[in-house]
Amino acid sequence: MQYQFPDNFWWGSASSAPQTEGHSLSGGKSATIWDHWFARQPSRFHQQVGPAETSGFYQHWRDDIALLKQLNHNTFRTSISWARLIPQGRGELNPQAVDFYQQMIDEMLAQGITPFINLFHFDMPLVMQQQGGWENREVVEAYAEYADKCFQLFGDRVQHWFTFNEPIVPVEGGYLYDFHYPNVVDFKRAATVAYHTMLAHALAVKKYRRRQQGGEIGIILNLTPSYARSGNPADQQAANIADLMFNRSFLDPALRGEYPQQLVELLAQHGQLPECQPGDSELLEAGIVDLLGINYYQPRRIKCRDSLVNPDSPFMPEWFFDHYEMPGRKMNPYRGWEIYEPGIYDILTNLRQNYGNPRCFISENGMGVENEGRFAQAGQIQDDYRIDFVREHLQWVHRGIAEGSNCLGYHMWTFIDNWSWCNAYKNRYGFVQLDLQTQQRSVKKSGEWFARTASENGFS
């Protein structure tokens, strides 16, 4: 076989509680910011489809886990919903949620599927947001209590924990570019949210290690390699700043326990540094992860700015660079993102050469497709484009591993087509097609391909 992967390679897919569970206001769960925002502004959501309309994992988990097994997953990631487990954010547990998560995890284990459990996937409980969300250090404490509760309840069964999925997304969406609640546009507040998120991460890591449960804890970051338009110093400098802002702002604290000096200086120079407290540096250092999840979808193409910044305009990352469309780049024709497979290899190489080759795995990679039903033949979606997408990315992962990268697995986004934030069901990503009305699941051609690849531990 041409592309044979190391023994015990993790083959699986990723999902999250808010995108799959449904029952968003039942089973004792309280509202998250998504329930709240949807109720107030349904028009911000594609076809006005909100977080209640999902594949109903809260109900169908047993069948879905059987399907995972059928597709030869040896690992699967989902998340716990904070608002379901502790509806008031702090304090009393919801017994229905404890039962649900316990049974779900036990069923995965019984089917030979190792659960990877994430604690926060953009789903801030509304009660916590009403107290200021990540801007409030009390919420950081509350999150750490919630995390510790999860370790206490499920840590005997779960050996792979993640504190956050893509923590930069709520920062960008909620505080910079207005695509998540609370729809603030303010760099300083965004920087505070980013900083507090990493403190929350580190506190959770500390609590996990204190329990000595024998497993590992990590974080999942969406890394977008920044490629400069040219070797010209101005373009290079622009790409470097984009990298600092969008990658290293989370990668460095997660893997080195500190922020890049250059980023700190840049923000200090512009009066944008968040407020620090004594002890923060030690805390960040304690947050160095055991395992890094890498979500990779697309690169970032950067050039220097064409025009001078108006110093009276609000401070934004784009003060330092412009995005540019590289001529001849390969686009996903069904979703509008660039596809650049070598980016996944460049990430692995960067981690190996500059970050001590950490234990890592590809925790999300995937191809969203609009109106995917048009590719159905005899009842099955013939998604050869997705097979090509996965295969080509895996070839680069394989090369990275051959050169020594410590990449332990590959998880596809996602298992069953799911609800996705403001996009709702616009982009379908699953190995399994979901009929939202009937809730029927149908395995796509890519699901069958992946099942074969997982069972053979590679492909030719």
Nearer to ligand BGP, 304 or 347 (CB): 347
Q: What is the Cα–Cα distance from 25 to 164, expressed in whole angstroms?
A: 23
**Which residue among 3, 208, 421, 450 contacts ligand BGP (CB under 6 A)?**
421
Closest distance between ligand BGP and the C-beta of residue 80, in Å? Answer: 15
Burial of 357 (0-12, 13-18, 19+ CB in 10 A): middle
CA atoms within 13 A on the CB side of 122: 26
Position of tokens 């484009």?
385
Q: Tokens at residue 156, please? A: 């005997």
Upstream peptide bond of 414 is cis (omega within 30 degrees of 0):
yes
Among 107, 135, 364, 372, the one annotated catalytic: 364
Q: What is the Cα–Cα distance from 369 to 349, expressed in whole angstroms?
A: 29
Taking contact as CB under 6 A, which single stretch among the options 78-86, 262-270, 278-286, 415-423 is the one that binds ligand BGP? 415-423
- 99: CB partners within 8 A, 6+ apart: none
**Which residue among 21, 35, 107, 166 contacts ligand BGP (CB under 6 A)?**
166
Establish whether 372 is a catalytic residue. no
**Which residue among 192, 224, 420, 453 contacts ligand BGP (CB under 6 A)?**
420
Within 356-375, the residues that bind ligand BGP by CB under 6 A are 364, 368
Q: Does 427 bind ligand BGP (CB under 6 A)?
A: yes
Closest distance between ligand BGP and the C-beta of residue 99, in Å? Answer: 25
When CB distances to ligand BGP are compared, the closest residue is 420
Q: Do 377 and 442 touch, CB atoms closer than 8 A?
A: no
Nearer to ligand BGP, 190 or 367 (CB): 367
Q: Does 413 bind ligand BGP (CB under 6 A)?
A: yes
Q: What is the Cα–Cα distance from 47 to 162, expressed in whole angstroms?
A: 32
Taking contact as CB under 6 A, which single stretch among the options 87-95, 420-428, 431-439, 445-453 is the one that binds ligand BGP? 420-428
Q: Which of 311, 317, 36 is nearest to 175 (CA)?
A: 317
**Which residue among 10, 11, 13, 16 contacts ligand BGP (CB under 6 A)?**
16
What does the angle CA 308 – CA 314 – CA 319 come to, to the nearest 5 degrees?
A: 35
**Which residue among 423, 439, 442, 457 contacts ligand BGP (CB under 6 A)?**
423
Instruction: Report, as residue numbers or ranges, the catalytic residues.
Output: 364
Residues making contact with ligand BGP (CB under 6 A): 16, 19, 165-166, 222, 295, 364, 368, 413, 420-421, 423, 427
